Chain A
Amino acid sequence: MPARIAIGGAAGFAGDRTDAAGPLVDALSWFDGPRFLMFETLAERTLALSQLERRKNPQGGFNPALDRFIGPILARCQHEQIRVVGNFGAANPPAAAARILALARAQGLRAPRIAVVEGDDLTKDLTAHDLAARETDGAILRDATEIIAANAYLGAGEIAQALNQGADIVVTGRVADSALALGPLMHAFGWRADDLDRLAAGTLAGHLLECGSQVTGGYFADPPYKVVPGMAELGYPIAEIEADGSMVITKPEGSGGRVDRLTVIEQILYEIHDPAAYLAPDVVLDLMGVTVEEIAPDRVRVTGARGRPAPATLKAAVCIDGGMLGEAEISYAGPNAAARARLAAETIRERMRTRAPDLVVRTDAIGIVSVLGSNGGAPEWPAEATDVRLRFAAQSRDAGAVERLLDEVEALYCAGPAGGCGVRRRVTARLASASCLIERRFVSPRVTMIGGGA
């Protein structure tokens, strides 16, 4: 058994920097022990968007940036025996695996052995009605008839199994983000399903890596209070984990960013509710005893994760059509801009009151009050404002009503107050997502090996 392994976190969401993996591969090459690279690219809605893409193109539905994430590092990962685990398979893991094989072939590489993890898709076994009955914290699905995507968060067992079978690359769809790290740990150290404290430590390692640079100085800078050097070339994280589950979080030498007590704690608590009970498919993680210790520049030791038995159910993310979101903006500038903008907002409100009375319209004055405002009522802004950008937004399944709002804003060009300018409008199809708890008997994950002479 190795003394320790290293896992690099090369992506924290589908739109993350695609060149972050290169410096991680360089750093991992020097690591004395098994090394892995994980990509987390699947936020709640990303999979539903991928499912819609797959309906249009049966060979699509995986992460559209896959080539840019994987292409530049494929050769060196093969050469340095860095094994890759990613949920970039999204709604079509087999197609993503085929794409990676094609990339390897085009680069003249030996065909990698690729494992495809499937079984997260619930739409074949559960109806909209079944899912609605299992929804937690809301009633998004109550009247839903058509489900776009319903996927259970799988655990780390199949990823570990795939690595045990010799996979160079593991492609998954929906798995718990932290499983992308826990899988390699279970494989490398032979942790068993009842090794609860170690499973908890591996889940914590995954949680620290799953958002990429969010633990190494990304989403952190607030100068001069919180200074982050080298934001343009942030180093992405590496976790060096020992067989007992203790770990050091660090980043490639010479890269931008910072790793210290503060960056690590912010990420430990990211998207956590009860810190004594973070639910994952393989274990319930208790963070109350966790300590962090700065042991060297950009090296933080994290210990003390505790585990309790896994929940009886698995979480699933379910997406349905959420109607259309319409947004339109117009600017007023110069003397008395605030009064003219206010008149524009009142004019829109009055027009819409009779023409689409059921549509809730939000009005923002960007730069004055927009982000922290609330849906109700008109914004208030200082009378002396000389550069006001108004934003109107509404959401409905009635596309005509949404378009009507945008038309009314555009009509302010002529029929509104003086000096209105710079109208931009757009309509976006919206997805509504819900969380469900699913009995494990509905979920049967499986691993298929392709390539590499398999």
Chain B
Amino acid sequence: MTAHTIKLHDIANARAGDKGNRLNIALVCRDPAHYAAIAQQVTAERVAAAFAGRRPSRVVRYDLPRLAAFNFVLDDVLEGGVNASLGLDGHGKSLSYMLLDIDVQLEEAIVATVAAAHAE
């Protein structure tokens, strides 16, 4: 079967939260059927690479299969967080969308489901 490249944003939701200089991003599958593909592809290493510009000192992924969700915890990516960041987003709220920008490979049949959901 042909694999199609899509953005995580096409099939998953994310919300970021901060504590000091540590960020967590909850990643939730819109359709639990995508859980396995995301679990396989969106590893802590991939996420660390996607956030390389923010130089995370540690990235941990927690799996919550009952919720078809993951929790990523990224240390030291907030440039000091609300205390010290000179940027507009000291909380790192928008970084959930940096995670959703990651590419994933899905089989054709699932891509069709995504397209149908958009057409609704």
- Which A residues form the contact surface with B (CB < 8 A)? 44-45, 137-138, 140, 219-220, 222, 224-226, 262, 265-276, 287-292, 304, 322, 325, 360-362, 364, 366, 370-375, 391, 393-395, 430-435
* A374-B79 contact, Cβ under 8 Å, with A138-B21, A272-B26, A395-B86: yes
B3 CB → nearest A CB, Å: 22
A-B contact pairs, 13 of them (CB 8 A): A138-B21, A219-B15, A224-B120, A226-B13, A271-B24, A272-B17, A273-B24, A274-B62, A287-B64, A362-B87, A375-B87, A432-B83, A433-B83
> Interface majority SS on A: helix, strand, loop or mixed?
loop
Contacts of A361 in B (CB 8 A): 86
B26 near A393 (CB under 8 angstroms)? no
B 44-56 to A, binary, CB cutoff 8 A, 1 in contact else 0:
0000000001100
A137 near B28 (CB under 8 angstroms)? no
User: Is B69 an interface position by the 8 A CB rule?
Assistant: yes
| Complex Cα gap A225–B79 (Å) | 30
User: Is B94 an interface position by the 8 A CB rule?
Assistant: yes
A137 near B85 (CB under 8 angstroms)? no
User: Is B39 an interface position by the 8 A CB rule?
Assistant: no
Contacts of A288 in B (CB 8 A): 64, 66
Q: Which residue of A224, A262, A276, A432 contacts B84 across the interface (Cβ within 8 Å)?
A: A432
Contacts of A267 in B (CB 8 A): 15
B20 near A137 (CB under 8 angstroms)? yes
User: Is B42 an interface position by the 8 A CB rule?
Assistant: no
| Complex Cα gap A274–B95 (Å) | 19
| Complex Cα gap A44–B90 (Å) | 13
Q: Which residue of B28, B82, B88 contacts A391 across the interface (Cβ within 8 Å)?
A: B88
Contacts of B103 in A (CB 8 A): none
A262 near B28 (CB under 8 angstroms)? yes
B 93-107 to A, binary, CB cutoff 8 A, 1 in contact else 0:
011001000000000
A262 near B30 (CB under 8 angstroms)? yes
Nearest chain B residue, comparing its CB with the CB of A325: B86
* A266-B85 contact, Cβ under 8 Å, with A290-B67, A435-B20: no
A371 near B89 (CB under 8 angstroms)? yes
A393 CB → nearest B CB, Å: 4
Contacts of A372 in B (CB 8 A): 89, 94-95, 98
| Complex Cα gap A3–B76 (Å) | 46
A269 near B69 (CB under 8 angstroms)? yes
